Chain A
C-alpha cells in the first residue's frame, strides 16, 4: 500500500471507529429510554431493528477497515 493510500485508509478507519464509538456511547447513555420505547409493543419493534441495522453497518465497516489497515489478510500462498 502506498503512503498516500495508507494515510487515506487510516483516516477512513479512524472516522468509522469514531462514528462506531459514538453510536455505542449514545446507546449506553440512552439505554433506558431505548428500552422503554422498544418495550411499548406495536410498531415500536422498529426501534431495535433499526439500531441493529445501523450499528451492524457502521461497526462492520469500521472492523473491515481496521483489520485491513493492520494488514491482517488471508493466506496469499493458499491455492
Chain B
C-alpha cells in the first residue's frame, strides 16, 4: 500500500499553513476547521475520503479534552450526549460506508464529486446564515444572540409531542423528549461528519434549535458527541486503511498554534466581525469548490479540454488561497489592533490611579507597621471562584480589610483551555460573564461593608500562576482564598491551586475553609525555631491587635527527640511569648510532643482556635513534592482558617 500523501517540503509547508489558518479561524469563529482543511487537502490531490478520515482522526482528542473538562464543570448533559453520541456513531459509520462504497464503485473521482457536492450545499447554507447573523448584529449592536436560549416554536413543538414508551427526561431542558426525535438527529449529525468531517457547528445548532437545549449545554454536550463521532469514524476508516496519520498530525501541528491565537483574537473582536469572517470564508470556499467540481466530474470520464481544466484548477486554488490569506489578515489585524488599543486603555487607567490623591496615613497603634513588612495588611487580595468553597474566604477577606482598614482587591481566574474551547466559543463568554457578575457581587458586598475595593478578572492556563502574578503586579500583602475539599486519591491527583499558590506566592496566604469563621477568639501560632517562625510571630503580633485576639504559641517536638531539643523548643516559645506580651497581647506558650501536623490540628480543635498561623519554609517544585510540608497538611485538613506567612 502506498502513502496517500508524499511528504514533499512545499506540500508540508502548505499543509502547516492550512493547519495554522484553519486553527486560527476555528478558534476565532468557535467552530471546527474541517470546512477549510478538507477542501485544502483535496486541492493538493489528496483523495476526499482520506482528507475526511484524517480530519476525523485529528478532531477527537481535542473534543475529549474539552468534553472531560465540561463534564467536571457539570455543563454536559451526559444522558443526551450518550444517546446522541451512540446514534451519531451509527451515523458516522453509515456515512463512512457510503463513502467507501462510492470510492469502490466510482474511484477517487466519484468520492471527490460526492464530498465536494455535499460541501457546496452545506457551506452555502451556513455561510449565508452567518452573514445574515452578522448583518443583524451590526444593525443592533449589543443585542444578545438569540442562540443563548432558543425556546422557539420548533423546539416547543418537539417537546410537546408525547409518544408513550419513548419519552426520556433530559436535565439540560428539564423535560422529557421522545427518543424518536433524538436518535434520528444524532444519526444525521453523524452522517454529515462521516461524509465531510463537519460536526460541531451543525450538532450544536441542531440540539439548540430542535431540542431547545440552552447554548452553553448544547456546545458542551456536543464535545461528547464529537468525541464519539471522531473515534467511531476514525476506527471505521482506519480499519479500511484510509487514515493518513502523518497528514493528520501535520494539520494538528499548525492548527494548535492557530487555534489558541484565534481564541485570543476573538476577545478583541466585535461579535459581527466574527460572523463576517465565518460567512465570507464559507462563501469563498463554496466558490472555490464550485470551480473545482467540474474538474472532479471530468475525472469520472466526462471530457473537458485541458485548458479548461487548467483554468478551473487555477481559479479554484486562487480563491482558496484568497480565503486563507483573507482570514489570516483579518484575524491577525483584529488581534494586533485590539491589543494595542487595550494596552493604551490599561496604561490610561494606571495613570489615573497614579495621579489620584494620596490620603493621609491612618494612625496605627504600633511601630511594627513600618518595621515588619509581613505584618502589613494594607493590600489584601481576595480570590473568588463563584463557588461555595470561596464563600467563607470572601466573608473573611472583607472583614479583615474592614478591621485593618486595608485596601481590598478581588480577583477571579477563568481558565482558558486553548484548542478545545474553540469548539465552543460561547462557553468562554459565558464563563467570563459569570465571573464578572460574581466579582461585581463581591465588590458590592465590600462597598456595603465600607471597604474600598476593585476587581480583576484574569484568564490563563494555570489558576495558581494567574493568582501569583496578580499578587506580584499589585504588590499585595496578603492573599485570601478558599479551599476545595478533596479527599483520598483525589487529593493526590488534584493538588489544589491553594497549595500551589502558597508554594509560589511571595506574600502571605490566608486559607479559609468553607465552614471557618475568624471571630477573634484565639490565634494559634506554631513555631519551629527557624527564622520563618520569627516572621510568623511578627505577623501574629500585628494581626492579634487588629482582631483583638489572644495568642497560643506552640512548638512541637517528636517523642523520640532528646531532652535538649525539648529545652530549645521551650526557650523558643518563651522568647516569642515575651515578644508578644511586651506588645500587650494576651499570650500563652506550650511545647507539645507528637506528629507536627496532627498535633497542631488536634490542639487547635481542642482550644477552639479560629486561626492557625505558620511560617512557610517556601519549598517549591520538586522539593515540595519530595519533602512535603507541615503547612500543606494542616491547610488540607484544618477546620479553621490557616495563615501561612512567607519570610520577608
Contact = CB atoms under 8 A, between A and B. Distances in A.
The answer to whether A binds B is yes
Interface of A: 1-2, 5, 8-9, 24, 27-28, 31-32, 34-36, 38-39, 41-42, 44-45, 47-49, 51-53, 55-57, 59-60, 63-68, 72-79
B61 A52 contact: yes
Q: Is the interface of A mostly helix, strand, loop or mixed?
A: helix
Interface string B332-348: 00000011001001100
Contact of A74 (B249, B252, B264): B264
A60 B256 contact: yes
Contacts of A68: 460-461
Given A48-B57, A67-B257, A74-B267, 14 more contacts: A2-B468, A5-B465, A28-B246, A35-B3, A45-B234, A48-B243, A49-B231, A49-B234, A52-B245, A52-B249, A55-B249, A57-B61, A63-B256, A78-B268
Contacts of A67: 257, 260-261, 264, 418
Nearest to A35: B3
B511 to A, nearest CB: 21
Interface string B397-429: 000000000000000000010110000000000
A5 B245 contact: no
Contacts of B13: none
B253 interface: yes
25 contacts: A2-B468, A2-B506, A28-B246, A31-B7, A41-B239, A45-B243, A47-B245, A48-B238, A49-B231, A52-B60, A52-B245, A52-B249, A53-B64, A59-B252, A59-B253, A63-B257, A66-B257, A67-B260, A72-B261, A73-B416, A74-B264, A74-B267, A76-B342, A76-B346, A77-B346
A27 B3 CA distance: 14
Contacts, number: 140
A39 B460 CA distance: 41
Contact of A75 (B61, B65, B338, B468): B338
A13 to B, nearest CB: 11
B1 interface: yes
A77 B146 CA distance: 25
B416 A74 contact: yes
A65 B249 CA distance: 19
B605 interface: no
Contact of B436 (A2, A65, A79): A79
Nearest to B419: A60
Given A2-B468, A72-B261, A60 B65 contact: yes
A75 B342 contact: yes
